[in-house]
Amino acid sequence: MPNNTVILTTLNEAWAAPNSVFDLFLHSFRIGNETIELLNHVVVIAMDEKAYNRCIAIHPHCYYLSSNGTDFSGEKDFMTPDYLKMMWRRIEFLGTVLDLGYSFIFTDTDIMWFRNPFPRFHPDADFQIACDFFKGNSLDISRNLPNGGFAYVKSSNRTSQFYKFWYKSRETYPGLHDQDVLNNIKLDPYINEIGLRIRFLDTAYFGGFCQPSKDLNKVCTMHANCCIGLSNKVHDLNITLGVWQKYLSLDNDTWKPTNRSPWTVPKHC
């Protein structure tokens, strides 16, 4: 983008298969509100050769991230050794992107994009991240529970240092994935030392199956978090897209937010 920002997502063979998560991800941009233009700025980081080949067949911007000695192609069950290796390879790579001078939105591929998120970002933050559970104050570092699947990070010396610290902290907390390690280090004095400005994103705009947005007039993204199993994600994300398309078919003033969730998910998750 003109401000040197790129949208990044990672993909392996299991998620790249036809009619799987990758197809749903791209479809959400095409039916979202002011999101189709953002596809021009989405770079897909393929974790294996088959995912890369599928990507270049249907999307113009694909990058094959090789990993020595590890096969990332199959479905990686949550918290298995290969899953953890894949998550930490991702953090390492994102740090490299910052070092190259690019700001980025990182988005998991199981996130549906319904609106342009940029107007909802905090202009004063270096690092802002979605939440599994948002506690009402974007500055509340201790109580908000971050989700590493969606973050907007501005390239700077502060964020580069932070990603190096985050990646290094995997050794301090062995056996944990990047999200849990982030939750452990977010109050570390080093964060204040480097001056990193952290904000947490409200689930009213950046929701998920853990804590869905209640207002379809506000929602920007919907994440299949709190959900284990690829087939479960695909099933419920299809339902999610159906709810959004039904909302789009209504007149602007027809749907009014209520205390009841507008979503009919999770079902299988």
Give residue-wise pLDDT tens across range 176-217.
Answer: 889 999 999 999 999 999 999 999 999 999 999 999 999 999
Mean pLDDT of the chain: 93
Q: What's the chain's Rg over C-alpha atoms?
A: 18
For residue 52, give its domain range: 5-249
In a domain, 208, yes or no: yes
Q: Is residue 191 part of a domain?
A: yes
Asked if the structure places residue 269 within a domain, the reply is no
Question: Residue 253 — very low, low, confident or very high, per pLDDT cuts 50/70/90?
Answer: low
Residue 254 falls inside a structural domain = no
Please name the residues in contact with 221: beta carbons below 8 A apart, sequence gap of 6 or more: 107, 111, 112, 113, 114, 115, 117, 130, 150, 205, 206, 207
pLDDT at 61 over 90: yes
260 versus 140: the higher-pLDDT residue is: 140
CATH of the domain at 23: 3.90.550.10
Map the chain to HEC letters: CCCCEEEEEEECHHHHCCCCHHHHHHHHHHHCECCHHHHHHEEEEECCHHHHHHHHHHCCCEEECCCCCCCCCCCCCCCCHHHHHHHHHHHHHHHHHHHCCCEEEEECCCEEECECCHHHCCCCCCEEEEEEECCCCCCCCCCCEEEEEEEEECCCHHHHHHHHHHHHCCCCCCCCCHHHHHHHHCCCHHHHHHCCCEEECCCCCEEECCCCCCCCCCCCEEECCCCCCHHHHHHHHHHHHHHHHHHHHCCCCCCCCCCCCCCCCCCCC
* The model scores a pTM over 0.85: yes
Q: Rounded to whole angstroms, how far apart are CA atoms 195 and 161?
A: 10
> What's the pLDDT at 81?
63
Taking only the tens place, the pLDDT of each residue in 137-184 is: 999 999 999 999 999 999 999 999 999 999 999 999 998 889 999 999
* Model confidence band, residue 76 (pLDDT cutoffs 50, 70, 90): very low
Give the mean pLDDT of 99-114: 98
Residue 133 has pLDDT above 90, yes or no: yes
Whether the pLDDT of residue 258 is over 90: the answer is: no
What's the number of domains the chain is made of?
Answer: 1
Q: What percent of the chain has pLDDT over 70?
A: 94
Residue 268 inside a domain? The answer is no
> How, if at all, do strands 145-153 and 221-223 pair?
unpaired
Give yes or no for residue 264 having a pLDDT over 70.
Answer: yes
Q: Is 264 contained in some domain?
A: no
The pLDDT score that the predictor gives to residue 42 is 98
- The span from the CA of 179 to the CA of 57, in Å, is 32
